Amino acid sequence: MNLNLTLFILFTVLTVISSFMVITSKNAVHSVLFLILVFCNTSGLLLLLGSEFLSLMLIIVYVGAIAVLFLFVVMMLNVKVNPLVINSYSLIPIGLLIFCGLFVILSSSMQELDLINLQYNDLKLITWVLETTYVSNIEIIGNVLYTQYCLLFLICGIILLVAMVGVIVLTMHQRTDVKKQQIEIQLSRLPGNVVKFITLRS
């Protein structure tokens, strides 16, 4: 069996199992960890299909930021197991509805993929050993982003910087009843006034 096809099947099975564990785990921390595993397996699938930019962005954005933020929030909140017992049979209609919707979407996408295969019979998975001499998608996107759209890219960075500074300013609370250290007054004091003698009555 081809190595790319083996890796594709492996990533697909791991993605399905991890997704099932996300919704069935009773511990919230375990659910977030399985969600990170889902993102990693999906990134591997995208990498095999040739969209390495989306694969790396999925790792950087979702795994590196959002999923880790979920994990920190769940660990800090110390979410306990809900003692409320829910009847599992009452969730079957909702599960069947979601399953039917996803099955329709998947079947329609598979039909479109079959049409693409009829038009392009040489559609195969990417062999990355042979792709070292070609220009990758990341290089093409980087050239377009930093040449034609460099002004828009800089404007977006400035907007994000202003938003970050604005959030910091709005969340800072200046208290007036806090005693602050004044360095210039401490350095300008006289040596004679450093020690103060107090006469105690016996």
**Residue 53 burial (10 A CB sphere; 0-12, 13-18, 19+):** middle
- pTM equals 0.55
The predicted-structure confidence for 48-82, as pLDDT tens digits, reads as follows 887 788 888 888 888 887 877 777 777 777 666 55
pLDDT of residue 57: 85
The predicted-structure confidence for 123-144, as pLDDT tens digits, reads as follows 555 566 566 667 777 788 888 8
* CA distances from residue 79 to 12, 22, 30, 70 in whole angstroms, order as listed: 31, 16, 12, 12
Dig out the tokens for 66 from the structure: 């959002």
Query: Given a cut of 90, is residue 33 above it in pLDDT?
Result: no
DSSP state of 200: P
Return the top range by mean pLDDT from 21-25, 64-68, 196-200: 21-25
How would you label 32-43 residue by residue, b for 16+ Cβ within 10 Å and e otherwise?
bbbbbbbbbbbb
pLDDT of residue 174: 65
**How much is the average pLDDT of 168-194?**
73
The predicted-structure confidence for 166-180, as pLDDT tens digits, reads as follows 877 877 766 667 677
**Residue 55 burial (10 A CB sphere; 0-12, 13-18, 19+):** buried
| CA 146 to chain CA centroid, nearest Å | 24
Query: Given a cut of 60, is residue 121 above it in pLDDT?
Result: no
Dig out the tokens for 48 from the structure: 């095999």
